[in-house]
Amino acid sequence: MKNIAVIGAGTMGNGIAHTFAQSGFTVKLIDLSEKSIEKGMMTIASNLDRMVAKGTITEEDRAKTIGNIITYTDLKDGVTGADLVVEAATENVELKLNIFRQLNEYCSHGTILATNTSSISITQIASVVTHPERVIGMHFMNPVPIMKLVEIIRGYNTTDNVTKIIMDLSEKLGKVPVEVNDYPGFVANRILMPMINESIETLYNGVAGVYEIDTVMKLGMAHPMGPLQLADFIGLDVCLAILNVMYDGFKNPKYAPCPLLVNMVRAGKLGVKSGEGFYDYSESKKAEKVSAQFSK
């Protein structure tokens, strides 16, 4: 298994492509938007430059990694001949089902089809594929090149052989694969999202402010990042989508998203990606910080 196709050049997609390419695999990075492809490749180059500066990799390693990536804006051309396809599109059920319908048409029956979904049922995604036993979840963590964990999620029909291939492959990437079963949120988000949601509820109820809540969790629980800041980095729209999947799947009110989260997403305050969430990431705010540093 040497030829990997990655669908989606966004944060997760370019990170997955980077990781495979750095491990010596030939990677086809696919996105319908040329602009997204360019942005994704710039991110990969920037991350590799950072690794060179830290002495983690050499200039030769950087060049080889970039050279291992080929970009496509046509899905059929991109996935043709791939041994493994990793879908890393937006966390939207209908979008993913549509992509897998096309993969069923374009890929050979021997191609393993993986999805990087963080909460959507693997079994549901596999239901639109002729051979559902080859569909599996590979839930990478962000930032992909750095984070070690990969949740390997078996759908109802996923075979032992396909699971073993993907577990072994993840180890070749220098990751630590953990096999889990196909239930809403899997393990990572089933535990993480209720914590984030409860943090938002705590803010919503006026118990404490953003800074105070995050400080308690960082200093009191030794979390490297507070839950509200983490939500901003994940994307509040993504957090909302995952909570909705779990709420729909379990019909348990403990997974119901906080009204404050719903309203913030409706208002377009999505976190880092939009420039504002629980914190302000706008250019003007950055300028204020720089000005304050020089005025000291």
Which letter does DSSP use for residue 113 in this model?
Answer: E
Please indicate if the annotation marks 34 as binding a ligand.
no
10 is in an annotated binding site: yes
Tell whether residue 13 is among the known ligand binding residues. yes
- Annotated binding residue 90: no
- Confirm whether residue 38 is marked as ligand binding: no
**174 labeled binding residue:** no
What count of other Cβ atoms lies within 10 Å of the Cβ of residue 263?
Answer: 11
CA gap 243, 255 in Å, rounded = 6
Tell whether 96 is in a known binding site.
yes
Active-site amino acid positions: 118, 139, 151, 189
67 assigned binding-site residue? no
One-character DSSP codes across 209-263 = -HHHHHHIIIIIH--SS-HHHHHHHH-HHHHHHHHHHHHHHH--GGGSPPHHHHH
* Secondary structure (3-state) at 152: strand
Which residue stretches of the chain are H helix? 11-22, 34-54, 59-67, 75-79, 93-106, 122-126, 160-172, 188-204, 210-215, 221, 227-234, 236-250, 259-266, 283-295
Question: What angle do helix axes 59-67 and 11-22 make, rounded to 10 degrees?
Answer: 110
To the question of whether residue 31 is assigned a binding role by annotation, the answer is yes
Judge whether 9 is annotated as a binding position: yes
Can you tell me whether residue 144 is helix, strand or coil? coil
Write out the binding residues: 8-13, 31, 91, 96, 118, 142, 273
Write out the binding residues for NAD(+): 8-13, 31, 91, 96, 118, 142, 273
